[in-house]
Amino acid sequence: MHRSMWTYPWDVQDQGVEPFARELTERACLNTVSLATSYHAGRFLQPRSPVQKAYFPEDGTVYFQPDAALWSGKMIQPLMARNTAERGDMLEALTRTRDKTGLKVSCWTVCLHNSRLGMLHPEHVTRNAFGNANYYSLCPSSPAARDYAVTLVQDITTRYRPDMVELESPSFMGFAHEYHHEKDGVGLNAEDDFLLSLCFCAHCTDRATSAGIPVEGARRTVSQYIAAFCERAVPEKQFPDFPAAGIDAFRAEADLHAFLAWRSEPVTSLIAAIRSAADPSTKIVLIDGSQAWIGGVDLPAVAQACDGAILCCYHQSPQEVAKVIAAGRAAVGPDRFLGVGLRVFYPEVDGPDILSARVRAALEAGADGVNFYNYGLIPAPRLDWVGTAAKGASEAAGHALT
């Protein structure tokens, strides 16, 4: 059974490869590390680190050494983090020592969420119905952005041969996503945020028009709804069955509904292109949540385009986790990998019992494994909670703890 923990390269550097591996295998009872290999900016409280309790990673960099020949002539180029140059390539170290440490290596790879690249290439970011740029999000319809994501995974898999690559954000992003000092005095509700997230950039417009989609009618409809909610004194729900009904919540708006039905095409085809270019020995899976359709993800189609998915259930009760995973299993089918992502943050997790209950619920509903979030962001004693959950779930499922 797949048992992994999302981890940053600086966490491994601070602990050392061998002590880190021992903690994951012996204390947390895990068999895989999901290492960030492409990541965005942030500010992280680092309770595990003996040397840096607060960490600000560079924005939009990669944590491996790109192959210059593979990237030659590409419009959008990766930037290797100074961390890798100064403190070592942890992806190389972990893949090289797999047999010794007993840890398989999965690459946690942020694809299109990249403010650094968005600022450098504004013609390739998503744009709302008013044409305003979302600089934090490259567009999955942009040929250059697609080429970047495909080459990124190709580079990782052909040079390092990890066991798995986990794709984060190969899809459309929401309007609210914890960008620097976001301000919202309106009080956007979920449907407002969704409408602001819909992309009508030139690439989406051309791609949708070529598919026969009434994209201009959809854009006008969305812009009218955005203008309307900006005029209200307080937010009001306009689509009663959003998000439960999926795109059918917008069935009364024919052009918009057609556009939303098309919107999954760039995402599915991008993931298929990533899978095709990647080394065949590496599994390619999507990281997303229970409402993946909001980002343009057609989960059954995506599962056929790659090797499966990890569905994050950070806040859900065990009963809700079971429901998400059962629906996920029905969507991806019996032969694709399905994992659950669980966070080990307080107060949503206040001890080993609730974490264990969530893990058991996911496995009983059809999950093949679990990813825990996040090694460097939690105090050391919570690794014992992870170990209890991982060991108990493996024994209950009849899996050997290997």
Q: What pLDDT does residue 185 have?
A: 87
- Eight-state DSSP code of residue 58: P
Q: What pLDDT does residue 181 have?
A: 73
Q: What pLDDT does residue 184 have?
A: 84
DSSP string, 121-174: -GGGEEE-TT--EEEEEE-TT-HHHHHHHHHHHHHHHHHH--SEEEEE-SSPPP
Residue 18, pLDDT > 70, answer: yes
Give the pLDDT band (50/70/90) at residue 397.
Answer: low
Report which residue type is found at 386: V
Encode pLDDT of 106-162 as tens digits: 999 999 999 999 999 999 999 999 999 999 999 999 999 999 999 999 999 999 999
CB 263 within 8 A of CB 200: no
> What average pLDDT score do residues 38-60 get?
94
Which residues make Cβ contacts (< 8 Å) with residue 297, sequence separation at least 6? 171, 264, 267, 286, 288
CB 108 within 8 A of CB 166: yes
- Domain coordinates in residue numbering, the chain: 2-172+264-396, 176-262
Give the pLDDT band (50/70/90) at residue 296.
Answer: very high
Euclidean distance between CA atoms 115 and 125, whole angstroms? 9
Mean pLDDT, all residues of the chain = 96
Q: Quick one: CA dihedral 382, 384, 95, 148, positive or negative?
A: negative
Task: Provide long-range contacts, Cβ within 8 A and 24+ apart, for 85-88.
Answer: 87/9, 87/10, 87/13, 88/13
Give the pLDDT band (50/70/90) at residue 57.
Answer: very high
Checking phi first, is residue 318 left (phi over 0); if not, alpha (psi -120 to 50) or beta? alpha
CB 313 within 8 A of CB 194: no
Q: What pLDDT does residue 55 have?
A: 95
What is the CATH architecture assignment of 2-172+264-396?
Answer: Alpha-Beta Barrel (3.20)
Q: What pLDDT does residue 364 have?
A: 97
Give the pLDDT band (50/70/90) at residue 28.
Answer: very high
Q: What are phi and psi of 138, to 5 degrees?
A: -65, 150
121-135, 173-187, 338-352: lowest mean pLDDT where? 173-187
Residue 341's nearest CA partner among 124, 106, 99 is 106
Q: What pLDDT does residue 178 have?
A: 58
Say how many CA atoms lie within 13 Å of 13 toward its Cβ.
Answer: 18
Q: Which residues of 338-351 are buried (b: 16+ CB within 10 A; e: fewer)?
A: bbbbbbbeeeebee
- Indicate the pairing of strand 133-138 with strand 125-127: antiparallel
Residue 242, pLDDT > 90, answer: yes
CA 30 vs. chain centroid, Å, equals 21
- Provide the percentage of residues in the chain whose pLDDT is more than 90: 94
Give the H/E segment covering residue 342.
strand 337-343
Residue 179, pLDDT > 80, answer: no
Euclidean distance between CA atoms 258 and 265, whole angstroms? 12
Euclidean distance between CA atoms 279 and 344, whole angstroms? 32
Which two structure tokens, joined as six digits, stand for 258?
A: 């057609």
